[in-house]
Amino acid sequence: MKNIEGTADLAIIGGTGSDISLDNVEEIKVYTPYGSTSAAITIGDFKGMKIAYIPRHGIDHSIPPHKINFRANIWALKKLGVKFIISPSAVGSLKKTHSKGNFILVDQYIDRTKKRTETFYEGGQLCHIEQADPYCEYLNNLFFETGQEMNLDIQKGGVYICIEGPRFSTRAESQMFRQWGGDIVGMTTYPEVVLSAEKEICYCCVAMVTDLDVWAGECSECGIVEYAQKCENCNGTVNKLSVNVPEVLETMVKNAENLKKMLELGIQKIDMERDCHCHHSLTNALL
């Protein structure tokens, strides 16, 4: 097998709207100690850079969140020489201020997953990776500035509640996540982010709000409010809102062009030679 190290500096892990236009495309199958990646990795040229792209849920979107082989994906990207990962993610809003179509550059997560292997270090050498600030500040700043230049509704910083899936939340869970201070809820940023840290790769989650989750209701007088039998503001009737696959897909398709353009513009600004502190995350983490 040919030497694939140094094949790409940057990778995109994603789906709808994140498949930017690449030239001189080839597919590479990377064999990992952890099994198969979600799909063969597409390598292509973009503005003089080599970009790797992998569809998180597989080519036909058939892999559910709790079955994604996160370790294989991240290991393979590291093997290719990737130093920066951009991870678009569809999420539900936990705040009235985060409307459908908004973008959030995540800076914190709360892990609510149950069955996912979350480390490469399972015995022998131990690793206690630091996660106080899990996401790359450099990439977050860069894409925030890009989003502002495009006049997008974009927020720098936000708490991502990562649930196991594939089911959506109950109303009680959604309300609890709001009380915890969550901004958005989704199913994929964890353990991608921590595994990237263990491989000393900068990681940026570009979250796109596709729905209002199920904490929300709609009052004919007051608009979006927290669901209850009666509106806490006017005592009027509150209609239940729910989340479903068609709603998520519809919003993703509508906003795909914005996401694609933001990625294309932002990637051009990345200094591929930058020695980010993320590239030294194993320092003082190994026993």
DSSP string, 236-253: -BEEE----HHHHHHHHH
Assigned CATH class of 10-212+244-276: alpha beta
CA 183 to chain CA centroid, Å, is 14
CB 172 within 8 A of CB 122: no
Q: What is the reported pLDDT for 1?
A: 47
The reported pLDDT for the residue numbered 226 is 76
67: which DSSP letter? G
Q: In the prediction, which pLDDT does 16 show?
A: 61
Q: Is 4 exposed, middle or buried (0-12, 13-18, 19+ CB in 10 A)?
A: middle
The one-digit pLDDT tens for each residue of the chain (287 residues) are: 456 777 899 999 987 667 788 999 999 999 999 999 999 999 999 988 999 999 999 998 899 999 999 999 999 999 999 999 999 999 999 998 999 999 999 999 999 999 999 999 998 899 999 999 999 999 999 999 999 999 999 999 999 999 999 999 999 999 999 999 999 999 999 999 999 999 999 999 999 999 989 987 888 778 887 777 778 778 888 888 778 888 888 888 888 899 999 999 999 999 999 999 999 999 999 98
3-state helix, strand, coil in the chain (%, to 5): 25, 30, 45
What is the pLDDT at residue 245? Answer: 84
pTM of the model: 0.93
Count of alpha carbons within 13 angstroms of residue 24, beta-carbon side = 8
Q: What is the reported pLDDT for 2?
A: 59
Q: Which residues are catalytic?
A: 211, 213
Q: How many CB atoms are located within 10 Å of the residue 118 CB?
A: 16
